[in-house]
Every structure is written in structure tokens, then in C-alpha cells.
Structure 1
Amino acid sequence: MTGRLFVVVGASGAGKDTLIAGAMAADPRLHWARRVITRPAVAGGEPYEGVTVAEFQARQARGEFALDWEAHGLSYGVPRGELAGLVAGRNVVMNGSRGALARARAVFPDLVVIHITLPLSVLAERLSLRGREDRAEIAKRLLRAGQPLPAGLRVVEVANDATPEVGVARLLQAIRG
């Protein structure tokens, strides 16, 4: 029996990390694939391994990543070992990028995309409150949030427009299908 790969996507500020962390706490049978990212490990958010660009490129050249992509000026990679549980029947959840979905589907044809959604007004408020982007950057993020996902994917929409507990319950329901 093989497990299923769930790739969670959504706008920055949609609450992906919060929902994934809640799902992991509620169901220890799930595995959260830890990504390697070219940003300092102290930047916060999801648990990830922060590396330099040179280290990322060296690991990429050695073929250490099952998936890798570029987004927002950073490099992201999912080490092969993080997805090893799939063969043993374990479901794996990873924080993904809409720009990498076609490539992910080519490597994992049975993946399920979980698209975290919320009203743009709520997203704008969350982005403003976290204080990492200026108004122009927030406007760009809101524009990207409205773009459709690539066609031909199995997509489950999960609304994160209520409390974190409700969002986690919805994510778990999507995973358990």
C-alpha cells in the first residue's frame, strides 16, 4: 500500500502553516515534509531547513531533492527522504507552490492538491497585520491569490475563513477524503 502526497497551496497569509501544524498535532500518522529553503532558519513559519544558495545548489546537483522550485526569489526543495513514508503507506503533507504543481504532478501523478482559500478582504487584513509587506507588495499578493490553479489536477478546496480549529478540521477532512 502506498501513501498519498497532499500538496497544500494558497496565498501567503492564507494560514497554510497553521492548518498543517494543527493537522499534524491531531493526526500523528501524517508526516509533514520538511522543506529546504534558501532563507535563514530564524525567519519563522513552518519547520524547515534554512541553507545558503551555494548549499542548496550543491544538494540539488547531488540529486537530493525529490522536488525543487524557485518562488519569490527563494529556492525550495523537498529532500527525497521526506517522502520515503509514501512507500510505506504513510500520507505526506507538504507546503507547496502553485508554480511547482505541474512539475510535482509529473513526479507524483496521484498527488492531491489542497487549496487553502479565504476571502480576499480577510487575506488583505492578515497580510497587513503581520507587517512583512508594504501596500504595493500586499496588492501583488492579492492579485496572485485570485489566479487559477493549473488544469488537470485533483484539487480539494479548504476554506480558512473561520477559527484555526475549524480550518484544521476542514483540512483533516480533505486529507481523510
Structure 2
Amino acid sequence: MTGRLVYVAGPSGAGKDSLLAWLKAQLAPDAPVAFARRTITRAATADGEQHDSVDMRGFLHLREAGAFGLDWAANGLCYGVRHAELPPRRGSEVVIVNGSRAYLPEAARRYPDMTVVHVTASVQTLRQRLMARGRESAEMVEARVQRALDFRMPPGLASIEIHNDRALAEAGAQLAHALQLTAFA
């Protein structure tokens, strides 16, 4: 199991960030699980994901220099995961990446043995969460909901599906069980 990559993807509003934060908080400090730090073309915020912030020029320079093992663009931002964050990573049996559904075929090409986790929620839940964030117009929210409805897992790619509509701890326990993670604090 050494060096297993877990690629987590799903629509905006499904609660991927919350689910991964819950899982990270539940794991024992010495659990052989790492959460890959992403490089993103947005400013860091106190309440958001811990990431490396770069401007577009810096991101393009890093990508051209071959710094990223995985990189994609989504929702007007660029995301990259540096090689050092990916398997094999010393001391980690499992490396979890918060990825993109659109980039999934390329990630699978690069890491054919990865485990895919598709986090989703009902249309009503997605719409409600996206509207509550207040970052987008109703039309933009509907476009995101429609993309969630239109998504199909790429052919030949198996995934673990986690429905995150109820209590976060319920979805988190499902994820931990599906990934066979037992090193809880």
C-alpha cells in the first residue's frame, strides 16, 4: 500500500474541503496519511485551505520548470501539486489530493493505480451550499449545478462515491472506511 494516491474530486458545494478537513482532524498525528498541499493562483485566506499562493506568472514559470506532478485550471484559477507532495512520499502510505473532475482522465493517465473518490451531494444541497457562499450569481450557481448533473466518470475508471448530504461525520466515516484508514486519534 506504500505510495497510494487518493484523488478526491466532486462538484462545487459537495463539501470536499470540509470532508478532507474532518478526516485530517480525526487521524492520529502519526497516521501514515499525507494531504498534498496545492499551489493555487489565489490569495491565502485565514479560513480556507492551506496552500501556496502564486500569481499567474509564477504559476506558469513553475509549470514550465516541471515543478508539478499534477496541474489543471478550474473556475478561473490554476492549481498544481508539486512532485514532492505526491507518491512516493516518505512516511506516507496514502497521499490524498483534492483534485478536479475535468482533470481526472489526465491524473489517471499519470497515476493509473490511484484511488478515485467522488464526493457529491443532492442537487438541492449543492444549490443551497453554493447560494449560501454568496460568491456567485444565481445563474452561475445553476451552471455549476448543471455541470454536476452532466458529469460522468470517465470510462474504465472505478471510483468510491461519497454522498455528503447529512452530517459531515457520517460522510467522513464512510470515506475513512472506504479508504481503510484506521489510525484515528
Category of TM-score, reference length = shorter chain:
over 0.9
Distance in structure 1 (CA, Å) of the matches to 2:69 and 2:122: 33
Separation in structure 2 between the aligned mates of residue 35 and residue 55 of structure 1, nearest angstrom: 14
Paired position in structure 2 for 1:126: 129
Instruction: Name the counterpart of 1:7.
Output: 7
Aligned with residue 74 of structure 1, among 74, 77, 86? 77
Q: CA deviation at 1:153?
A: 1.1
Which residue of the partner structure matches residue 160 of structure 1?
164
SS in structure 1 of the partner of residue 128 of structure 2:
helix
1:59 Cα offset (Å): 0.8
Contact 1:35–1:78 (Cα < 8 Å) also in 2: yes
Check the 8 A contact 1:112/1:153 in 2, yes or no: no
Q: Secondary structure at the match of 1:93?
A: strand
Q: Work out the CA distance in 1 between the residues paired with 2:47 and 2:78.
A: 16
Between the aligned partners of 1:100 and 1:157, the Cα distance in structure 2 is 17
**Cα distance in 2, alignment partners of residues 40 and 173 from structure 1:** 34
Is 1:102 the equivalent of 2:105?
yes
Q: Which one has a larger percent helix, Structure 1 or Structure 2?
A: 1
Deviation at residue 140 of structure 1 after TM alignment: 0.3
CA distance in 2, matches of 1:81, 1:134: 38
1:39 aligns with 2:63: no
Secondary structure at 1:13 match in 2: coil
Partner in structure 1 of residue 179 of structure 2: 175
CA drift at 1:23 = 1.0
Distance in 1, Cα, partners of 2:165 & 2:32: 26
Shift of residue 37 of structure 1? 0.7
* TM-score, scaled relative to structure 1: 0.93
Q: State the one-letter code of the partner of 1:111.
A: M
- CA deviations over 1:11-31 (Å, ceiling 9, x no partner): 111100111111112224211
Q: Is the 8 A contact 2:32 2:91 kept in 1?
A: no
Residue number among 56, 70, 81 corresponding to 1:53 in the alignment: 56
Q: Residue by residue, what CA displacement relative to the aligned partner does 1:81-117 show, whole Å, maximum 9, x if unpaired?
A: 1114446552011110011111111111101110011
Percent of pairs identical after alignment?
41
Which residue does 1:151 correspond to in 2? Answer: 155
User: Displacement, 1:68?
Assistant: 0.7
Cα displacement (A) at 1:149: 2.0
TM-score, length-scaled by structure 2: 0.89
**What is the deviation of 1:163?**
0.7
Which residue number in structure 2 is paired with residue 140 of structure 1? 143
Q: Is the 8 A contact 1:7 1:112 kept in 2?
A: yes
Point out where structure 2 has 5 or more consecutive residues left out of the alignment. none
